Amino acid sequence: MDNTSTMQAPHKLGFLHHIRLVPLFSSILGGILLLFALSSGLAGYFLLQADRDQRDVTDEIQVRMGLSNSSNHLRTARINMIHAGAASRIAEMDDMKANIAEAEKRIKQSQEGFNVFMARAVKTPADEALDAELNTRFKAYIDGLQPMLKYARNGMFEAIINHENEQARPLDTAYNTVLLKAIELRTARANQLSDQAHQRSQLGLMFMIGAFALALVLTLLTFIALRRTVINPLQRAAQRIEQIAAGDLTMPDDPTGRSEIGRLSRHLQKMQSSLGQTVGTVRQGAEEIYRGTSEISAGNTDLSSRTEEQAAAIEQTAASMEELTATVKQNADNAHHASKLAEDASGKASHGGQMVSGVVKTMGNISNSSKKISEITAVINSIAFQTNILALNAAVEAARAGEQGRGFAVVASEVRTLASRSAQAAKEIEGLISESVRLIDQGSGEVVAAGNTMNDIVDAVRRVTDIMLEIAAASDEQSRGIVQVSQAISEMDKVHAAKRLAGRRGLCRRRVSGRAGCSLNRSGRGISFAGRKCD
């Protein structure tokens, strides 16, 4: 692209271009702050002076008012004393006392106001000369009112009027003559202070206007300096950056100063030169990347085809392992079922053995009971034998007794008969019990033999159960091993799927890299270096 229209002619550098920005801005800000402090100080000084003058004017006015009020209070006191005398003539004693109290109050207020005037801080030689005469006239005035106050307390109206005409009025005239001079002097003093305050205010305003004008001049000079040292160099730097962004790296170098802006311009020029070298290097690297991605694409295609073959083989192996897993699982289920049946048979055999043991125990109990019955039968037989002997003895004794023992002989005969029958029955029972005991002993032996046989059956069933459990455990272990093998094959299948996906992504990346390399080549061809285009 043509940049001759945007390039500027070389410009000269002034001394401001070699001043660092920090000292430059510090000097500018320092000058502004100094001017601001000077103008603020002067304005504050004149404002303080004007405020002090204004306070002095206020003080003069208050002093003048106090002095004027002292004369007014005395005149009011005279009027109150005349009213008190008039009230005494018409016997209005309350009115008389009120007027006398008011007159005393007015005289006291007049004395206080006069004392404030005499105690003022600012006094000129003219004030001191006039104050001496004024003090003399005031004391004479106060002393001249004391007889009039005495007449008022005594209700002497004619004496009050005579004293007013002959003494009080001349004293009032003499005092007010000097008082007017003092008031005129105070008024002149107040006017002088007011004019002085106005002059100082005007002077302060003029200083502020001058400081503002000087600030405007300094602001204009500061703007000119900043435009030359900061704004214009920054505009040229921005123009250079715009040209670089547009792909033009042919702008010539400009002279730079030693300030921060000059350093920025130098670094921009170095960046332009380095960027040109970098773009050339990137173009060359892009071509090499394009060639490398072509080779990678061929390798990825070959790897993808082999990965597809491995994936097919793994899928076939996985199908076979699934069939084997199903068979082993069925065997394990059958072994578990047989083991459960053996456990059931073992349980039933154990239950039969327990029942046989119970029968043996019952037969033993029956045998013991038969033995006890045999013993009881022997006891009965012994009792029958003894009864027979007793009956025989009774018959002998009856025969000896003769006719008296006949009845007893009959009874003895019956007893012998019963004893014989009992003995015979006992013998028969003993024979039956002996036969039962023999049969019971025989049955007990057979039951014991059956119990031993049941125990042998239980042991055999337990051994079969243990063998079936071992077979089931082995089948489970085999099934778990086959499941692990199936999982490993599935993982291999996933890995091969990931490899296929990675191969496809690599192919896509290769295409993207190829397009990026082409784009870099096209971009490099559009960049100018030192007045020429890239090839």
Of 338, 367, 325, nearest to 470 by C-alpha is 338
Question: What Å distances lie between residue 495 and 112, 296, 498, CA to CA?
Answer: 115, 21, 5
CATH superfamily of 15-245: Aspartate receptor, ligand-binding domain (1.20.120.30)
SS (H, E, C) 102-140: HHHHHHHHHHHHHHHHHCCCCCCHHHHHHHHHHHHHHHH
Q: Choose among 106, 62, 70: nearest CA to 179.
A: 70
Distance between CA atoms of residues 161 and 85, nearest Å: 9
Reply yes or no on domain 265-533 having CATH 1.10.287.950.
yes
Which of 137-141, 219-223, 273-277, 513-517 is modeled with the greatest confidence? Answer: 137-141
Higher pLDDT, 126 or 428: 428
| Range from 1-5, 177-181, 344-348, 359-363 carrying the lowest mean pLDDT | 1-5
> For residue 489, which phi and psi values (nearest 5 degrees)?
-65, -40
Which band of pLDDT confidence, cut at 50, 70 and 90, is reported for residue 527?
A: low
DSSP state of 16: G
Burial class (CB in 10 A: 0-12, 13-18, 19+), 407: exposed
Distance separating alpha carbons of residues 439 and 456, to the nearest angstrom: 26
Q: What is the pLDDT of residues 261-286, one digit of tens each?
A: 666 666 776 776 777 777 667 667 66
Higher pLDDT, 374 or 209: 209
The whole-chain average pLDDT of the chain stands at 74
* Residues in Cβ contact with 437 at an 8 Å cutoff, skipping those fewer than 6 apart: 367, 370, 371, 374
The string of pLDDT tens digits covering residues 490-517 is 777 776 677 667 667 766 766 666 666 6
Enumerate the domain spans of the chain: 15-245, 265-533
Asked if residue 326 has pLDDT above 70, the reply is yes
Residues 6+ apart with CB under 8 A from 230: 21, 261
Tens digits of residue pLDDT in 151-195? 888 888 889 899 988 888 999 888 888 888 877 877 777 777 777
Would you state the pLDDT for residue 163?
92
Asked whether the whole model's pTM tops 0.85, one would answer no
- pLDDT for 397-428, tens place per residue? 777 777 777 776 778 788 878 878 877 887 78
Higher pLDDT: 167 or 305? It is 167
Copy the structure tokens of residue 95: 């009115």
CA-angle at 193, arms to 188 and 198, nearest 5°? 125
Between CA 140 and CA 430 the distance in angstroms is 177
6 pLDDT higher than 50: no
Inform me whether the pLDDT recorded for 52 exceeds 80. no
pLDDT of residue 57: 64
